Chains A and B, each alone.
Chain A
Amino acid sequence: MIKWRKWNNILHRDIGYTITVLTLVYGISGIAVNHTADWNPNYQLQREAVSLKPVMEKTTPEMKQNVMSQLDLKDEPKSIFRPDPETIQLFYQGRTYTIDLPTGKGIIEHVRPRSVLFEFNQLHLNTPKKAWTWFADVYAASLIFVAVTGLFVLKGKNGITGRGAFFTVVGALIPAVFWIWFQYL
């Protein structure tokens, strides 16, 4: 009996250490992606107003050259788009120029991945797929293992037969009560 608990605690401890950093990654990313209605957890978006002379050219290539010249852009854009007759958009890596042709007024939109959080979210949401799916499955199994072995780390009044039982039931009731409230009330 003692041997069983000893191995339970050793495995709980060592697997727990191993998944600590990844649990932080998933936890931090979890908070970040829970609030996508309020912010973009992956990218920083910055908008900058620009004011050019009106662009009066007749053809799209000429309009593009005029805008590039006024903005002193040396490199060719990845692509250009005319969403409507009065607007031209120039796309570069990480930035988009949207210019209102009759007025010359425009917006430069800069997009930058958020440092660290971007990588955390990619791993959490399994964007890479491939081998990461397997890593994530092993991690999830480890988390289940640590949760279950955690129930049996202590014995006595603070263990699963005493204080532990109370808190385990409380923890189980939170999602159950929420779901009943959400679904039926």
Chain B
Amino acid sequence: MRSTILFLTVLIFAQAASAGDGKNYGKELTLKEVTKISDILANPELYNGKRILVEGSIVDVCKERGCWIKIASDKDFESLTFKVEDGVITFPLDAKGKKVHGEGVISVKTYTMEQLIESGKKHAEKEKKEFDPASIKGPKTVILLKGEGAVID
């Protein structure tokens, strides 16, 4: 009885603590000024290594671990991946469509064809899927926001 009461109390407490709007994930936001995602994508090298704050709608969430979200740009057909270290932040799968403010450091990396093929093979092995190296057409630049903190409305 004592255990049950204790468990129910903490369950209610936990739910109350996790409920409500403007939920924080990870570190507190420190920046006030928002950088447009379209500006970052247009000039990635300008922002590489810089700490920035972005805002937008969440349009995709990592289905396995909740370790990344995609944030819609202010322009059509663009989004920015907000990637966090596994286990540090877990984004809920039902966050899709919600507004988010995310802070972190921009990372711009260009991968060679060989690196992309190697990575594609490993990913295919892990996912037990077919991989066609011919699907890689050339080097690719990946722009990520290495996320440290986010607030989801």
A interface with B by C-beta (< 8 Å): 17-22, 25, 36-37, 40, 42-43, 45, 60, 77-79, 81-85, 89, 91-94, 96, 111, 113, 119, 122-123, 125, 127-132, 135
- B123-145 CB mask vs A (1 if < 8 Å, else 0) is 00010000000000000000000
For the complex, give the distance between the alpha carbons of A80 and B104 in Å. Answer: 24
B interface with A by C-beta (< 8 Å): 2-4, 6-7, 10-11, 13-15, 17-18, 57, 59, 63-66, 72, 76-77, 79, 87, 90, 92-94, 96-99, 126
B17 to A123, Cβ gap below 8 A? no
For B92, the chain A residues whose CB sits under 8 A away are 42-43
- With contacts A82-B77, A119-B15, A125-B90 taken as known, whether A132 is within 8 angstroms of B97 at the C-beta atoms is no
Partner of A43, one of B18, B72, B94, B97: B94
Question: In the complex, which residue of chain B has the Cβ closest to the Cβ of A33?
Answer: B65
Q: Is the interface of A mostly helix, strand, loop or mixed?
A: mixed
For B90, the chain A residues whose CB sits under 8 A away are 125, 127
B13 to A17, Cβ gap below 8 A? no
- With contacts A79-B57, A85-B77, A127-B18 taken as known, whether A40 is within 8 angstroms of B93 at the C-beta atoms is yes
Partner of B97, one of A25, A79, A119: A79
Some 14 contacts from A to B, beta carbons below 8 A apart, are A17-B2, A18-B6, A19-B3, A22-B6, A78-B97, A79-B72, A83-B59, A85-B76, A111-B96, A113-B94, A122-B14, A123-B14, A128-B14, A132-B14
